[in-house]
């Protein structure tokens, strides 16, 4: 290849690039101009009603924001499939819409970007062990639609320190995660009890575990579900214990964008359906045999009586039936993700039905 033809090629390349740049600029300017905003219909308010469900049905899957790897809540397994109690809720929503729990795509999100991802429309639903707080619900343009796990912040310490109550924790150094409510809760707790502490806040849980395991901190604080999960990773889990007190309320729940009440209702009632099913004793194994039940509550639930789909924008009146048949009721989901037989080994506690001493209580389906 001689120099001349190389030069010609280089020039051709450059002209091509310049043309591309020009087109890019023109297209970008058009796309970015405020008039495009009006076309996009992002004018909020009533215009958003039903928008999310329509988009979801059009693209054929639910885009679900989950954590980047929190055991029991959302975590990729060896085969790359996501599992966990948050993931199951995403699957339940997909089942209600498409009658297929696998029509979900997961967006692993860091704690920092999760709300922006939801607000910008990148995801349809955020189920990322997110605590329902006033500020987030009211001031951030978000809508919390329920609670899928009642958690509370706790403390883990070495057994050989001989601590029995969190009130004894004076002059301690505390390891925790940054960018979440955990850090502030800990600060509030120690200040309220006039205890001295030093907080060491890490970006990722794995580093918190490593530091705590190496003795950097006397105390590890995070949600108790998290403590249960991280404890399995310590070099000697039996030498550590979780203190009985809970220092904060952490109702973790699914979040949607403010403005689309239909979508909020849909997610809320998918969650409620899993709880109601447990109340009614419906499981994935037995629900098929209840299809022709005489109990009006069950008849309404499986969709043989009443009209519960169209108001939510759904087509299949048996959407709740599908959820239980394909994903399971709340108890089943709990047991296979965080329950006593999993590595986390968490008993139901507050997350038991209200009839069993817990606080799970769903409004009636009628």
Partner 1 sequence: MVGLGQVFLLWLRENLFFSWRNGVLSVVVGGFLLWIIFLLGDWFFLSATWSGGIEDCRMRQDGACWPFVRVRFSQFVYGFYPSVERWRVNVVMFVFFTGIALLVWERTPWRGKIVLFMLCVFPLASWFLMRGGFFGLADVSTGRWGGFMLTLVLASVGIVTSLPFGILLALGRRAESLPFVKAFCVVFIEFWRGVPVITVLFATAFMLPLFMPASVNFDQLLRAMVGFILFSSAYMAEVVRGGLEGLQRGQYEASDALGMTYWQSRIRVILPQALKIMIPGILLTFIGLFKDTTLVLIIGLLDFLGMIQAGISDPRWGAPNVPFTGYAFAAVVYFCFCYSMSLYARHIEKKFSAGRDRRH
Partner 2 sequence: MSEAVDHPYRERRGVLRGLWASRKGRGLIYQVLLFSVLLLLILILVSNAFYNMEQRGLKAGFGFLNRTAGFGIVQSLVSYEETSTYGRAFVVALLNTILVASIGVVLATMLGFVIGVMRLSPNWMIARIATIYVETFRNIPLLLQILFWYVAILKPLPAPIDLFQQGESFFLSFNNRGLVFATPLPQAGFSLVLWALSLAVLASIAWSWYARRRQLQKGDQLPVLWPCLAGIVGLPFAVFLLLGLPLDFVPPVMARFTYEGGSTVVIEFFALLWALVIYTAAFIADIVRAGIQGIPYGQSEAAYSLGLKRTQTLKLVTIPQALRIIIPPLTSQYLNLTKNSSLAAAIAYPDLVSVFAGTALSQTGRAIEIMFMTLSVYLSLSLLTSLAMNIYQRRTQLVER
DSSP three-state, residue 153: strand
54 lies in the binding site for partner 2 (CB under 8 A): no
Q: Counting beta carbons within 10 angstroms of the beta carbon of residue 173, is it exposed (0 to 12), middle (13 to 18) or buried (19 or more)?
A: middle
Separation of alpha carbons 126 and 134, rounded Å:
17
In the complex, minimum distance from the CB of residue 246 to partner 1, in angstroms, rounded to a whole number = 21
In the complex, minimum distance from the CB of residue 74 to partner 1, in angstroms, rounded to a whole number = 10
* Per-residue tokens: 2: 């001689």
Question: Which among partner 1, partner 2, none contacts residue 50 (Cβ within 5 to 8 A by kind)?
Answer: none
Q: Compare residues 213 and 350 and give the one whose CB is closer to partner 1.
A: 213
19 lies in the binding site for partner 2 (CB under 8 A): no
Among 200, 254, 204, CA closest to 85: 254
Among 330, 318, 271, CA closest to 292: 318
- Yes or no: say if 271 and 254 are a contact pair by the CB < 8 Å rule: yes
The answer to whether the Cα torsion of 93, 97, 99, 100 is positive or negative is: negative
Tell me which residues in 212-251 interact with partner 1 (CB under 8 A).
Answer: 213, 229, 232-235, 237
- Yes or no: say if 41 and 35 are a contact pair by the CB < 8 Å rule: no
Question: Which among partner 2, partner 1, none contacts residue 30 (Cβ within 5 to 8 A by kind)?
Answer: none
Residue in 122, 188, 245, 356 binding partner 2, rule: CB under 8 A: 188
6 lies in the binding site for partner 1 (CB under 8 A): yes
Give the orientation angle of helix 319-326 with respect to helix 261-280, to 10 degrees.
60
Residue in 86, 218, 223, 279 binding partner 2, rule: CB under 8 A: 218
210 lies in the binding site for partner 2 (CB under 8 A): yes
192 lies in the binding site for partner 1 (CB under 8 A): no
Interaction site with partner 1 (CB under 8 A): 1, 3, 6-7, 9-11, 13-14, 16-17, 21, 31-34, 36-37, 39-42, 63, 68-72, 75-78, 80, 105-110, 112-113, 116-117, 119-122, 203-206, 210, 213, 229, 232-235, 237, 342-344
């Amino acid at each position: 290849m001689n120099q001349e033809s190389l030069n010609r090629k280089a020039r051709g390349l450059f002209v091509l690039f310049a043309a591309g740049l020009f087109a890019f600029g023109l297209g970008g300017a058009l796309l970015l101009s405020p008039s495009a905003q009006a076309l996009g219909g992002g004018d909020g308010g009533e215009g958003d009603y039903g928008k999310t469900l329509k988009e979801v049905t059009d693209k054929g899957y639910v885009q679900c924001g989950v954590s980047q790897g929190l055991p029991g809540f959302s975590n990729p397994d060896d085969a790359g499939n996501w599992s966990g109690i948050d993931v199951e809720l995403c699957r339940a929503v997909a089942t209600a819409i498409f009658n297929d729990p696998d029509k979900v795509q997961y967006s692993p999100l860091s704690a920092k970007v999760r709300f922006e991802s939801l607000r910008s429309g990148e995801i349809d639903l955020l189920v990322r062990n997110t605590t329902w707080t006033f500020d987030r619900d009211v001031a951030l343009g978000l809508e919390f639609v329920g609670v899928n796990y009642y958690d509370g912040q706790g403390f883990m310490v070495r057994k050989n320190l001989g601590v029995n109550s969190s009130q004894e924790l004076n002059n301690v150094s505390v390891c925790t995660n940054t960018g979440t409510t955990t850090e502030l809760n800990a600060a509030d707790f120690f200040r309220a009890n006039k205890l001295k502490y030093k907080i060491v806040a890490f970006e990722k849980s794995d580093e918190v575990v490593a530091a705590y395991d190496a003795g950097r901190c006397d105390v590890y604080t995070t949600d108790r579900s998290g403590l249960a999960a991280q404890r399995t990773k310590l070099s000697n889990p039996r030498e550590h214990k979780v203190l009985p007190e809970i220092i904060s309320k952490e109702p973790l729940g699914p979040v949607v964008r403010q403005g689309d009440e239909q979508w909020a209702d849909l997610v809320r009632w998918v969650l409620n359906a899993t709880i109601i099913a447990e109340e009614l004793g419906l499981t994935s194994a037995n629900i098929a045999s209840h299809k022709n039940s005489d109990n009006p509550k069950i008849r309404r639930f499986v969709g043989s009586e009443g009209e519960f789909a169209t108001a939510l924008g759904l087509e299949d009146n048996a959407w709740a039936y599908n959820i239980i048949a394909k994903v399971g009721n709340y108890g089943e989901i709990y047991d296979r993700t965080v329950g006593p037989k999993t590595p986390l080994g968490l008993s139901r506690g507050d997350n038991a039905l209200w009839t069993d001493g817990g606080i799970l209580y769903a409004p009636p389906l009628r």
